[in-house]
């Protein structure tokens, strides 16, 4: 990895430009949301996450009398990554094994019935990738200086960006292959359709000619 050192006069504008480039990545790495969960209802949040990415989260659910709220996190294959019954407040963490769609579901249950119990306030804060790593703990374990910690974070962020571009390139190649395959099938289907039409027209001409000869309309 190489680090470019800029002259003092260029550090300000270039730093701001780099921050603008990295801002979308940082925004995509943090998900903070608050919503109200009605009694005896279920709400789910879905998010696509890349392979081998650390995901951490912290949740807090407003307490309600005679109400039990369950939290469950699953992937597209319905594998349970985290589950908590009668959840009120806590944290979770897992590492993705493949690029997949993950679902975080909150389910409220109450014997009182709907309309009798107020909605619960749910706060969810999810982080993944670089933002999910605890660099303070890494600094303590590896005895890193503040500058070294910042360089480690930038290195991880750069690696994450490279992986994102590699994934987008792979998807672009897959889409190109799919388009080429579709175009080839359309071409073959068009040729087959033209052959069928030409064959049908030829048969129709010979059939009408025999018909007219049989009626002695033509010689």
| Confidence grade of residue 183 (pLDDT, cut at 50, 70, 90) | very high
Three-state DSSP state, 6 = coil
Q: What is the pLDDT of residues 140-160, one digit of tens each?
A: 878 878 888 788 888 888 887
At 30 the pLDDT is 65
Q: Which domains does the chain have, with CATH numbers?
A: 33-132 (2.60.120.680)
Using alpha carbons only, give the angle 80, 85, 86 rounded to the nearest 5 degrees. Answer: 155
At 181 the pLDDT is 92
- Alpha carbons 20 and 110: distance in angstroms, whole number: 47
Q: What is the pLDDT of residues 93-138, one digit of tens each?
A: 888 888 888 999 999 988 876 667 788 899 999 888 777 777 777 7
DSSP state of 129: G
Percent of the chain past pLDDT 90, that is, above it, reads: 30
At 195 the pLDDT is 96
pTM, rounded to two decimals:
0.59
Average pLDDT value over all residues in the chain: 80
Q: What is the pLDDT of residues 14-64, one digit of tens each?
A: 444 444 344 444 444 567 889 999 888 999 998 888 888 888 899 999 888
Of 61, 55, 57, 27, which Cα lies nearest the Cα of 43?
61
Percent of the chain past pLDDT 70, that is, above it, reads: 84
Q: What is the pLDDT of residues 66-87, one digit of tens each?
A: 888 999 999 888 888 899 998 8
| Confidence grade of residue 13 (pLDDT, cut at 50, 70, 90) | very low
């Amino acid at each position: 990895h190489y680090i470019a050192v800029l002259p003092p006069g260029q550090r300000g504008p270039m730093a701001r430009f780099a921050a603008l480039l990295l801002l979308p990545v940082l925004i995509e790495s943090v998900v903070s949301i608050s919503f109200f969960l009605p009694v005896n209802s279920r709400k789910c949040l879905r998010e696509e996450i890349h392979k081998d990415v650390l995901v951490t989260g912290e949740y807090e659910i407003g307490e309600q009398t005679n109400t039990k709220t369950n939290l469950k996190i699953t992937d597209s294959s319905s594998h349970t990554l985290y589950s908590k019954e009668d959840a009120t407040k806590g944290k979770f963490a897992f590492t993705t094994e493949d690029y997949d769609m993950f679902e975080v579901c909150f389910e409220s249950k109450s014997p009182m019935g709907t309309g009798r119990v107020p909605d619960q306030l749910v706060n969810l804060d999810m982080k993944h990738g670089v933002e999910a790593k605890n660099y303070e703990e890494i600094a303590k374990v590896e005895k890193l200086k503040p500058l070294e910690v910042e360089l480690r974070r930038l290195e991880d962020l750069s690696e994450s960006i490279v992986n994102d571009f590699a994934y987008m390139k792979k998807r672009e190649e897959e889409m190109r292959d799919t388009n080429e395959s579709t175009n080839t099938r359309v071409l073959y289907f068009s040729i087959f359709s033209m052959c069928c039409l030409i064959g049908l027209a030829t048969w129709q001409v010979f059939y009408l000619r025999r018909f007219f000869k049989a009626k002695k309309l033509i010689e």
